[in-house]
A and B are shown apart, each in its own frame.
Chain A
């Protein structure tokens, strides 16, 4: 039992936070709870603290409008949180689509699809192009462009306010990730993930690798949704310094050799320099 906990502690914690956050939002709309109202685009925490999606606010700005003070403060608070301690944790600890793509990935591994499937190649930088395009289109059309199509918002809003045909977005992403492109949505296309990768680039909380313990089993790279960030595994002791790491902690759980752990950015970095 304790082994089960050790192997899935972050996964369980992540599902718990994801579902808890969803439940608080749903409760606000259905039963009138006053803890977390609104949705991931913008919300009100404990009836006082505004929170807002900084990427959406930026798109609105590109569309030619300046949001009122509440959304502005909200966006700044969220940006501060993720750039200081959160990193790209939104993707693996909050975003509801994460559960869909994780399931697709899990099935992909279990069914061994990678071995048989026709390989597609796509750059993981597509998301930054999509992000750039979203600002240009917002500017040209005069409305937040990604917010009009975002399957994240469609799913999240759907769960809180009523789904409509929104399930189609979930099925599309699931099939895309399962059969077309590994980590297709979260790891290649989603501009929100790209956005959090950018603002979370210098955050404090990091995964760090302890090379001497590593036995090169490569289980961490197998489960990692952004495996390019683990480039140092087996090579040198270092923190994972790329913003694309979602801090999901799966690599830490699957490692049997205690070669990966959460640490704080700058302290860990100094430590290794002394070692080497």
Chain B
């Protein structure tokens, strides 16, 4: 009886150990394999964390894309297996007005609400709302910053003068020419990558990066005092709060002057 009991317990422990070993290996692999901070997702994709949990890897968005922009990650691509992505330098997103890639998504990993707008009770596509990434200019390898005239990215931009605008500056080196510098405004940039595709340098001097990677965040403790709507955030706040400690009860001047004999 005791022997039987022992055999049972040992075999239980064995099974659990096998399951745990396998489980840990498997989790470790999945955990590493799902992390892809530099991947660019299709239009309307939810935040990466949510996207990777929702995407069922069916490739319907890939099939819907008329320009073959979207690809499904194959083994060897070093991207989460079977999930859709695009590389703008190869084929950028041409920002179709009818957004064929988003509605086929069966799971909602591509969120149709994020690229539509309700106008007069009718839902209409608005590709300008998509935020796949944001273009970043490398000032050192952008030849416009050298003083050479190039506006390839500016001309390629479908939201020209908003998402990319030119800033004029005097070229002090020659003294008589102007720099025409491309500058990206993340408020308008959709991350389509037409600029990256058009860039003339060997490696693109303007690149699309995921917004979470490229953009900072100010935090809510800064308020634009000159902006009425931003200033409005202060309404209803209780004002500046001061922490009162034993020491700060007294007037600071009194504290500083304490113990000094002025006579």
Interface, chain A (partner B; CB < 8 A):
28-29, 37-39, 41-44, 50, 52-53, 56-57, 60, 63-65, 67-68, 70-71, 74, 129-130, 133, 136-137, 140-145, 147-149, 153-154, 157-158, 160-166, 168-169
Contact A52 B19, CB 8 Å, known A153-B82, A165-B76: no
Residues of B within 8 A of A133 (CB): 19, 22-23, 26
Of the A-B pairs whose beta carbons lie under 8 Å apart in the complex, a sample of 9, sorted by A's number, is A37-B63, A68-B106, A71-B56, A71-B108, A145-B27, A157-B72, A158-B74, A161-B71, A168-B75
Contact A137 B26, CB 8 Å, known A56-B56, A153-B82, A164-B74: yes
Tell whether, in the assembled complex, residue B30 and residue A42 are in contact, meaning their CB atoms are under 8 Å apart.
no
In addition to A144-B56, A149-B29, 18 A-B residue pairs with Cβ atoms within 8 Å of each other are A29-B62, A38-B60, A38-B106, A43-B60, A44-B60, A67-B106, A68-B106, A71-B56, A133-B23, A137-B26, A141-B30, A147-B81, A148-B80, A153-B81, A154-B82, A161-B71, A164-B75, A165-B76
Residues of B within 8 A of A50 (CB): 106
Interface, chain B (partner A; CB < 8 A):
15, 19, 22-23, 26-27, 29-31, 33-34, 49-50, 52-54, 56-60, 62-63, 71-72, 74-77, 80-82, 104-108
Contact A41 B108, CB 8 Å, known A154-B81, A157-B72: no
Tell whether, in the assembled complex, residue A160 and residue B34 are in contact, meaning their CB atoms are under 8 Å apart.
no
**Contact with A42, one of B75, B76, B107 (Cβ below 8 angstroms):** B107
Tell whether, in the assembled complex, residue A52 and residue B53 are in contact, meaning their CB atoms are under 8 Å apart.
no
How far, in whole Å, are A74 and B82 apart by their CA atoms in the complex? Answer: 19
Tell whether, in the assembled complex, residue A166 and residue B74 are in contact, meaning their CB atoms are under 8 Å apart.
yes
How far, in whole Å, are A42 and B27 apart by their CA atoms in the complex? Answer: 24
Residues of B within 8 A of A56 (CB): 56-57
- Pick the 9 closest A-B CB pairs, nearest first: A164-B74, A68-B108, A42-B58, A70-B106, A165-B76, A71-B106, A165-B75, A67-B107, A38-B58
> In the complex, which residue of chain A has the Cβ closest to the Cβ of B110?
A68
Dominant SS at the A interface? helix
**Contact with B74, one of A38, A41, A68, A161 (Cβ below 8 angstroms):** A161
> In the complex, which residue of chain A has the Cβ closest to the Cβ of B105?
A68
Tell whether, in the assembled complex, residue A141 and residue B77 are in contact, meaning their CB atoms are under 8 Å apart.
no
How far, in whole Å, are A6 and B22 apart by their CA atoms in the complex? Answer: 44
Tell whether, in the assembled complex, residue B26 and residue A149 are in contact, meaning their CB atoms are under 8 Å apart.
yes
Tell whether, in the assembled complex, residue B76 and residue A141 are in contact, meaning their CB atoms are under 8 Å apart.
no
Tell whether, in the assembled complex, residue B60 and residue A143 are in contact, meaning their CB atoms are under 8 Å apart.
no
